[in-house]
């Protein structure tokens, strides 16, 4: 154990000494390394701009408050089971480092759900206006009035481009690049056909309306099941962590099981690392695959 502590202390001293001797050019050269860039991309500095794009302000004060609360709780739980200061500090430091990433992934998932809801609302509203026999440009303009951000901004930009260049098809194609949904593409095909022929395809309108209604029902059902699954995941995670603490306290003074060995403490350290990696993997999976086609 003394050798392990000495090794960590030596590594820390080497790191501090190397950092102090770094000049500005050395530091820039370090930042060009791919692993370092990857770490910077998922750190607070790399994510604060992306979080701002999603409409949230993730200030230093907010981050420090989250880090203080989560770091303290994690540190107390880890030390109560591992009873090793270095392992506890490593787990707490890793959690604090990944807090902005977890916040960003959750925010991205919520923004994606909102966008999908807004797209389906836009399609339903446009179909209603088509049945009122409004012209295509008027439909887009009226939809922009009732849409929410950020879709409202994109619809207003689409209308402005059509008014400036008369490129109706190109403006809709650009909007589809921002919102790659099948329902929106089908609606735009309908609007383009109405623009060219001046008429409307009742069969296609009925199909699109039915498809949009079914999509809304499916997505609501899916989101409810996903929310329930998410609650179960984090409930089981908490039980998992508490179970480790309870078992540790139960066998703490056992004459048959020695839980104070370095090997057992290291296994508990790996246990916490595995749980942290599981949370990160779960949030990454939700943010990447949780999307309506």
Q: What is the pLDDT of residues 251-284, one digit of tens each?
A: 665 555 556 677 778 888 888 999 999 998 888 8
Give the Cα separation of 131 and 110 in Å (integer).
32
pLDDT value at position 257?
A: 54
Beta-carbon contacts of 109 under 8 Å, excluding residues fewer than 6 positions away, are 283, 286, 287, 290
- Cα–Cα distance list, 135 to 38, 120, 183 (Å): 49, 20, 20
pLDDT at 9: 52
CA pair distance 207, 190, nearest whole angstrom:
11
* CA–CA dist 228, 240 (Å, integer): 18
Residues 136 and 194: beta-carbon distance below 8 Å: yes
Domain borders along the chain are 31-113+225-289, 114-218
pLDDT digits (tens, 9 = 90+) for 7-61: 555 555 555 455 445 444 444 554 555 566 777 888 888 888 888 888 888 888 9
Angle at 166 between CA 164 and CA 169, to 5 degrees: 125
Name the H helices within the chain: 2-21, 24-31, 34-41, 44-53, 60-82, 85-131, 136-146, 151-165, 168-178, 182-197, 202-250, 262-289
Cα separations in angstroms, 257 against 110, 233, 245: 46, 31, 15
Among 148, 122, 149, 103, CA closest to 287: 103
Query: How much is the pLDDT for 27?
Result: 45
Phi-psi region of 99 (alpha: psi -120 to 50; beta: other; left: phi over 0): alpha
Q: What is the pTM of this model?
A: 0.76
Mean pLDDT computed over every residue of the chain: 80
* Whether residue 116 has pLDDT greater than 50: yes
Number of neighbouring beta carbons within 10 Å of residue 89: 15
């Amino acid at each position: 154990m003394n050798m392990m502590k000495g090794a960590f202390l030596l590594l820390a001293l080497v790191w501090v000494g190397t950092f102090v001797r770094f000049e500005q050019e050395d530091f820039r050269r370090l930042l060009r390394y791919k692993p370092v860039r990857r770490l910077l991309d998922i750190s607070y500095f790399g994510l604060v701009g992306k979080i701002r794009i999603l409409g949230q302000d993730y200030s230093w004060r907010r981050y420090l408050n989250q880090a203080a609360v989560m770091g303290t709780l994690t540190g107390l739980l880890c030390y109560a089971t591992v009873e090793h200061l270095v392992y506890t500090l490593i787990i707490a430091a890793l959690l604090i480092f990944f807090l902005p990433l977890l916040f960003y992934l959750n925010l991205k998932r919520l923004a994606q759900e909102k966008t999908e809801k807004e797209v389906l609302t836009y399609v339903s509203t446009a179909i209603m206006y088509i049945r009122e026999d409004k012209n295509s440009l008027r439909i887009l303009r009226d939809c922009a009035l009732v849409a929410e951000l950020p879709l409202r901004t994109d619809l207003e930009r689409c209308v402005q481009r059509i008014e400036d260049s008369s490129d109706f098809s190109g403006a809709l194609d650009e909007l589809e690049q921002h919102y790659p949904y099948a329902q929106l593409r089908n609606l735009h095909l309908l609007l383009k056909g109405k623009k060219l022929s001046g008429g409307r395809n009742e069969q296609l309108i009925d199909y699109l309306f039915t498809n949009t209604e079914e999509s809304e029902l499916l997505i609501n059902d899916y989101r409810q099941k996903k929310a329930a699954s998410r609650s179960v995941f984090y409930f089981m995670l908490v039980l998992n962590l508490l179970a480790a603490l309870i078992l540790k306290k139960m066998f703490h003074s056992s004459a048959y099981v020695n839980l104070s060995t370095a090997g057992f403490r290291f296994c508990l350290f790996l246990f916490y690392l595995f749980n942290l990696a599981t949370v990160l993997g779960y949030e990454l999976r939700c943010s990447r695959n949780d999307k309506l086609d």
